[in-house]
Amino acid sequence: MQVAVIGSGTMGNGIAHVFAQHGFAVSLIDINQPALDRGMATITKNLDRQVAKATLSEDDKTATLGRLRTFTSIEAGVAGAELVVEAATENVDLKLQIFRDLDQYAPAGAILASNTSSISITKIAAVTKRPAQVIGMHFMNPVPVMKLVEVIRGYATSDEVTQRVMDLSRQLGKTPTEVNDYPGFVANRILMPMINEAIISLFEGVAGVEEIDTVMKLGMAHPMGPLQLADFIGLDVCLAILRVLHDGLGNPKYAPCPLLVNMVMAGRLGVKSGEGFYQYTAGSKDLVVAERFKK
């Protein structure tokens, strides 16, 4: 089966990795070759890590890389694809344009899936002439490690397409969970208000960064505190999802904290920018609270 993945960033290269590792021929598509080179370098590094941990053989690594091809053209990359997974930036206008292009260039029978974490599948499907074949396939980060795939049915998504995506997810060693198309779906409708409340608690001086994260790690058995998790996800992504929830549900409880808005405007996006609630130094695993939040 031929699979195409749109976007070679963190999510896209992870999705391409797991499909290729499980025997699928994969076309990885991005707007320029340097982005694709970075994506392939990440896939290679992650495969090397699996080999070092003896969860993958050197031969399997070579075979996985051999199933991957890169393209800077959507038209060329999706030729012959039976499944296309879009994993571009969480921007509604960009995604709508990508799906217009996919509808034009992908084979008529191809399933068009989006890895969106919050944007309406129904809205995305409406710009195509094949809404029954459009579905959400929301992988978790890091894709090669996390087991969940949130499978989101749009208003017109067919039973056949839903079942096929559920089955494909299981072939990847994942656990698919079917949900309906409402803002934030399940994962982010529950997660983002928690993260936002943690930021509000910091903003209002209830406790510091380390204290908030410690309470949730030790008190609620979370592997990562909500502020560290927000940094890992990307504060810009958190803000975008909260705005989708706020706009889509019209409930003030989803309004993003002003501190989050200011941090994003200032370019303090978390791990990707080197600073969020914590400071990040290349090559260091030490968790250091950002200077402005130190007591």
Residue 272: φ, ψ to 5°? -65, -25
Dihedral sign, Cα of residue 112, residue 114, residue 119, residue 120: positive
Q: What's the burial of 197, exposed, middle or buried (CB within 10 Å: 0-12/13-18/19+)? A: middle
Amino acid at 276: G
What is the DSSP secondary structure assignment for residue 246, as one 8-state letter?
H
Q: Is 138 part of the annotated catalytic residue set? A: yes
Q: Is 73 part of the annotated catalytic residue set? A: no
Amino acid at 261: V
Which of 188, 196, 201, 246 is catalytic? The answer is 188
Which of 150, 169, 201, 210 is catalytic? The answer is 150
Q: Is 120 part of the annotated catalytic residue set? A: no
Q: Which residues are part of a known binding site?
A: 7-12, 30, 90, 95, 117, 141, 272
For residue 284, CA distances in Å to 37, 74, 228, 271, 287 come to: 24, 37, 15, 12, 8
Report the relative pairing of strands 2-6 and 111-114 from DSSP bridges. unpaired
Residue 58 near residue 88 (C-beta atoms within 8 A): no
For residue 256, CA distances in Å to 16, 69, 239 come to: 32, 40, 7
Q: Which residues are part of a known binding site for NAD(+)?
A: 7-12, 30, 90, 95, 117, 141, 272
Which of 27, 117, 120, 169 is catalytic? The answer is 117
User: What percent helix, strand, coil does the chain show, rounded to 5?
Assistant: 50, 15, 35
How far, in whole angstroms, is CA 111 from its chain's centroid?
19
Write out the two tokens for 138.
Answer: 């929301």
Which of 86, 138, 201, 210 is catalytic? The answer is 138
Q: Is 150 part of the annotated catalytic residue set? A: yes
Rounded to whole angstroms, the Cα distance separating 163 from 190 reads 25
Residues marked active site are found at 117, 138, 150, 188
